[in-house]
Structure 1
Amino acid sequence: MARSHLTLAALATSAVDGLEVRQAAPFGSGTHGDYDSAVITSTDGRHFIVRVPTSERAEAEQSSDLVSLRALSVGIRGRLPFEVSRFAGQTPVDGTRAVVYEFVYGDPVQLGAIPAGEGLATSIGRAIAAIHTLPTSFIVDAGLPQHSPHDTLRASVTIMDRASATNLVPAALLGRWERASEDSALWQFVPTVVNGGLTAESFLQSGGSVSAVVGWQGLSVDDPARDLFWLLGAPSDAVAESALDAYQLARGSVDRQIAQRARLYSELELAKWLLHGAQERNTEIVDDAVALLHGLVDKVENDMNQNLSHNTMPVMAVDEVEAMLDERDRRDDA
C-alpha cells in the first residue's frame, strides 16, 4: 500500500534537521512507478521532494543517484546551464530509506511534444553538450564507472549475442548489427562524462529552455552517443536533427560517427525489450518486441538515412585531429 503524502511529510521532518512542513501533496511516482513520493513546502517557503523506493531496483537506482549527486560539486554544477537537485537528508523506514531532495523547478518534457528547430530541441542539445564537456577527473575521484570504447563495444556485442540466441530477431537486423560491431572506425571516439540514463523525462523546461536535469544514477565516463539515442524516438526526425546540430555546435565535436552509434543504441533498446520479456516469461512483451523489430527492418531497409556504417567523407583535417587529441588531454588533466 502506497504511503500517504502526510506520512511522507513526517518522514521528511525526520530526515532534514529543522524542517517544518507547511504543506504536503502527492507527487509523480517516478518513471517506473517505483517510488512513493510527495512534494513538501516548508514554513520558510522552500520546496522539497521526499521519495521512498518500493522495489529493490528503485532502491539501487536511488543509491546510485545519491552517489552521483554528491560527486556533482558546486564547481561542477557551476559549469552546467541548468539546475541539478541537491541531497537534503534521509531517514530509515521499513528496511529502506526515505530520501529528501531540494526541489528543482520546471515543467516535464514529453518526447512527442518537443518541436523541431530553435527552442526546446536545441536547448536539450546544448544541455547534453554541457554534460559532455565536464572534466572526467571528478568521475575518477568519485569512483564512478569509466568505460573505454572497447568496453562499450563489448557491452553492445553482448546484447546482440543474447538477442540472437532467442532466435526471434530478424536475420537482416542481426547482420546489420554485426557489421556495425565490426566497423572499427565507428568505435573511435573519446569517452566523455555522460548522464547515462537520459530520456525526455530527465528534462524539465521553462519558457522553452531546459531548466533542470533529474536522474543521475548512470553518471559515468562513456560513449557520448549513449545520451543522444533516445532523441531518435521522436515522431519527427527533425527533432533529433535540431538537437544534434545544436549539440555538435556547442561541443565543437569532431566525432563524425556519433549519430550512427546513437542509432545503433536506439535499435538495441528493442533487443533489450525482447530480452526483458524473455527473462520475465511475458509473452505480451516478447510479441511486442518482435513486432517492433520487424517494423524496424522495414524502416531501415527503405531509408538510406538509417545507415549505421561510419562516415568516410570528408576526411578529418589535421587541425580537427589535433583538436580531438587536445580535448582528450584536457579531460585527462582537468
Structure 2
Amino acid sequence: MRWNSMELAAMATAAVPGLSPTGVAAAADDARDFTAAIVHDAEGNRWRIRSPQHQEAAMRLETELQVLRGFSTAIRAELPFRVPSVAGAVRRGEMRTFVYNHLPGASMGLTELTHGPAGLIDDIARTIAAIHDLSDSVVDHADLPRYSAERYRQRRLNELDQAATTGQIPSLLLRRWEHAMEDQQLWDFEPTVTHGDLHEDSLLIEGERVVAVTGWTDLHIGDPADDFAWLTAVGAPAFRDQVLQAYSQHRSETPDPCLMRRAALTAEFALAQWLVRGKATDNQEMVDEALGLLNQLASDIETYGGQPIALTPMEEEVKAPAETQDSRPVARIGAHATVADHGGWAESGEGDAEPAVITDSSADQSAAQQPAQDQPAQDESTQDRSTQRQAVDADGEPTGQVPQVPQGRWIDPDDEPTGQFPAVPAEEEPTGAIPRVSEEEAAAASEPATTSGSLPIQPDQQTEQRAKQKNFFPAQSANSARSAESAAEAAEETEETEAGGESIYSRHPGLRPPQ
C-alpha cells in the first residue's frame, strides 16, 4: 500500500514517542517496493521513514533490521561512512513501517557523479572496498545467505532457467548469458561480504565524501561484482575504470580480473529478473517495461557486439567496440529486481562440488554411462555428447567405450555386416593406395544395408544442425533481430520522443548513447 507524505509523518509520530513533525518531504527509494519520506521535527532533526508496499518488501525491511543490529559500535567506528539505525517502528496490518535516525548527505545521479569532484571517485571506491572487507560475522549473525563461487554460479543458472520458461526473452540474450554462466574460469572469485543492492541512491554524499550508505536489505556473502553492476550503466568509461583502479588499492585483497565482466552480466541479467518478477506479481507494467528493454538490449548487442562478458566470445557475436553501441546494460530499472532462489541457503562451503542443477559441465561426467540416444540435443556440449556412440562386444552388448574407427581398412563387399568393427592386424601395414571399385560394387554400396548391433551412426548435416539448437530458447522475434538500419531508425524515433516528452532514456539514463 502506498502512503502519502502526511500519512507517513503521522506514522513517524506513532513510531517515535515525542517526535513533533514540522515538515515532510518525499525521499528517493525503490519506488515499486517502498514509500519513503524525510520528516523534520521542531528541534531541527530529520528522520527517514520507509514503508513497504507489499509483503516481499516488508520481509526485506525486517532483514535490514537484523543487519543494522549486527553493526556493533566497534564495527561502525571502523567504517569510513555512517550506517543507519532504527529509531522506531509501527505496524499497519501484517507489515511494519520503520523510522530511521537522520543521516547527513544527499544522493546524486549518475551524471552528477561522473562530473563530481576528483576526490569523490576515490571515496566511492573506498566505500565499496570497506563493505567488501567487512567481517563475515555481520552476515552470519543476521542469518543471511552465504555462497561459495560455484554455488553462486549455479544459482545464476537456476535463475536463467526460470527466466527462459517465460518464453519472452530474446534467444540471443539467453545464449549470451548461458555462455558466460557456464564459463567456470569467469567465476573464479573469492566470496566477500556484498551489499547486494548498491547503486547511486544508496550513497549519501557531502562534497567529496560518501558520508553514509543506506539500503542494507540484501546483504550476503557472495560475488563482489554485484556491487559494481550499477557502474556499468555509467556513460563515462573513464569514470568506471578510475573507480575500479582505486578500489583495487583500497581492498585488503586483490580483486579478481573478471570482476567487471560479471558486473556487466549482472546488469544485463537484471532485465530478465525484472521480467520474471513482473510475471510472478501479475504486474503488466513491469512486464512491458522489461520486454522493451530486453528487446532493445538484444538489438544493440546483435548490431554492435555489446560489452565483453565471457572470456571466450561466442562465434555468432559481432566483433565491434562496446563504445559504439547505442545502449548499455541497466543495473536498476525502476526498483530493485530479484527472483526467488531455488533451494536453501548455503550455510557452509560443504557440497560445493555437487551443483544444484545438472549443467553441461556436470553432465559430461555421466554421459559415458548413459546411452547416447537418451541425451537431449539442447546445446553444443550436449550435441557433442550425443554423437558419442558405444562400442559393442562380441555378443552385441555395449561396452561403455567409444569405438575407434579403423583407418585404411576396406571391408569385402561380400561380407555380411556383423555389428562389430573389424580390427586391423598388427602385421598388416596400410599401403595408402585407394582400391578400385567397379560400377556394380559402387551401386551395391549405395543401397541401404540392414545392419544388426549398435554401429555408430554419423548424423547428417541437417540433424547435426538441429542438435546444436537450444530447445528451450524461443524463436528470435523481429524486434530482437533488427538490423543496423532499423536500429538507427529506432534511435531517431527515441530522439523525437525525447523532444516531445519523457522517454526511455530519461527514465533509464544507463541506456543513453555515449556522447
TM-score, normalised with respect to structure 2: 0.55
Aligned 8 A contact 1:271 1:289 in 2: no
Give the aligned length.
307
Q: Using a 3 Å threshold, how does the CA distance of structure 1 residues 8 and 250 change in structure 2: closer, same or farther?
A: same
**Does residue 294 of structure 1 match 2:298?**
yes
The one-letter code of the counterpart of 2:270 is E
Aligned 8 A contact 1:193 1:224 in 2: yes
SS in 2 for 1:85: coil
1:316 match: none
Aligned 8 A contact 2:125 2:244 in 1: yes
1:1-334 pair list within 5 angstroms: 3=3, 5-17=5-17, 19-21=18-20, 23-28=22-27, 30-115=29-114, 118-251=118-251, 252-279=253-280, 280=282, 282=284, 284-298=288-302, 301=305, 306-309=308-311
- In 2, distance between residues paired with 1:237 and 1:53? 35
Q: Using a 3 Å threshold, how does the CA distance of structure 1 residues 187 and 286 change in structure 2: closer, same or farther?
A: closer
- In 1, distance between residues paired with 2:84 and 2:55? 23
SS in 1 for 2:39: strand
The one-letter code of the counterpart of 1:197 is D
Once the two structures are TM-superposed, the CA of residue 184 in structure 1 deviates from its matched residue by 1.8
* 1:219-240 C-alpha deviation (Å, 9 max, x unpaired): 1111111111111011222222
Q: Percent identity?
A: 32
- In 2, distance between residues paired with 1:153 and 1:14? 45
SS in 1 for 2:78: coil
2:369 match: none
* 1:88-116 C-alpha deviation (Å, 9 max, x unpaired): 11122344333211011112121233216
Q: Using a 3 Å threshold, how does the CA distance of structure 1 residues 33 and 174 change in structure 2: closer, same or farther?
A: closer
Q: Using a 3 Å threshold, how does the CA distance of structure 1 residues 174 and 92 change in structure 2: closer, same or farther?
A: closer
SS in 2 for 1:147: coil
Question: Unpaired segments of 5 or more residues in structure 2?
Answer: 313-515
The one-letter code of the counterpart of 1:115 is T
Aligned 8 A contact 2:265 2:309 in 1: no
Aligned 8 A contact 1:193 1:221 in 2: yes
- In 2, distance between residues paired with 1:130 and 1:26? 31
- In 2, distance between residues paired with 1:142 and 1:34? 22
Once the two structures are TM-superposed, the CA of residue 3 in structure 1 deviates from its matched residue by 4.5
Once the two structures are TM-superposed, the CA of residue 13 in structure 1 deviates from its matched residue by 3.2
Once the two structures are TM-superposed, the CA of residue 207 in structure 1 deviates from its matched residue by 0.4
Aligned 8 A contact 2:48 2:100 in 1: yes
Aligned 8 A contact 1:193 1:220 in 2: yes
Once the two structures are TM-superposed, the CA of residue 169 in structure 1 deviates from its matched residue by 3.7
- In 2, distance between residues paired with 1:187 and 1:174? 18
Worse-superposed segment, 158-167 or 70-79: 158-167
Once the two structures are TM-superposed, the CA of residue 164 in structure 1 deviates from its matched residue by 3.1
1:314 match: none
SS in 2 for 1:97: strand
The one-letter code of the counterpart of 1:85 is P
- In 2, distance between residues paired with 1:113 and 1:240? 14
* 1:10-51 C-alpha deviation (Å, 9 max, x unpaired): 43333224x342523132262215444443334444321223
The one-letter code of the counterpart of 2:82 is E
SS in 1 for 2:226: helix
Bigger relative CO (Cα 8 Å, ≥ 6 apart): 1
**Which protein is bigger by CA-based radius of gyration?**
2
The one-letter code of the counterpart of 2:272 is A
TM-score, normalised with respect to structure 1: 0.82
Question: Unpaired segments of 5 or more residues in structure 1?
Answer: 311-334
Higher helix share: 1
* 1:250-280 C-alpha deviation (Å, 9 max, x unpaired): 1141412212211211221122233345443
- In 1, distance between residues paired with 2:79 and 2:64? 18
The one-letter code of the counterpart of 2:156 is S
SS in 1 for 2:293: helix
Higher strand share: 1
The one-letter code of the counterpart of 2:271 is L
When the two chains are superposed, the root-mean-square deviation of aligned CA atoms in Å is 2.6
Q: Using a 3 Å threshold, how does the CA distance of structure 1 residues 307 and 218 change in structure 2: closer, same or farther?
A: closer
- In 2, distance between residues paired with 1:26 and 1:300? 43
Q: Using a 3 Å threshold, how does the CA distance of structure 1 residues 78 and 300 change in structure 2: closer, same or farther?
A: farther
SS in 2 for 1:256: coil
- In 2, distance between residues paired with 1:2 and 1:176? 38
SS in 1 for 2:98: strand
- In 1, distance between residues paired with 2:3 and 2:267? 36
- In 1, distance between residues paired with 2:82 and 2:169? 41
The one-letter code of the counterpart of 1:268 is F
Q: Using a 3 Å threshold, how does the CA distance of structure 1 residues 257 and 94 change in structure 2: closer, same or farther?
A: same
Aligned 8 A contact 2:67 2:138 in 1: no
Q: Using a 3 Å threshold, how does the CA distance of structure 1 residues 236 and 164 change in structure 2: closer, same or farther?
A: same
Q: Using a 3 Å threshold, how does the CA distance of structure 1 residues 254 and 90 change in structure 2: closer, same or farther?
A: closer
Aligned 8 A contact 2:29 2:201 in 1: no
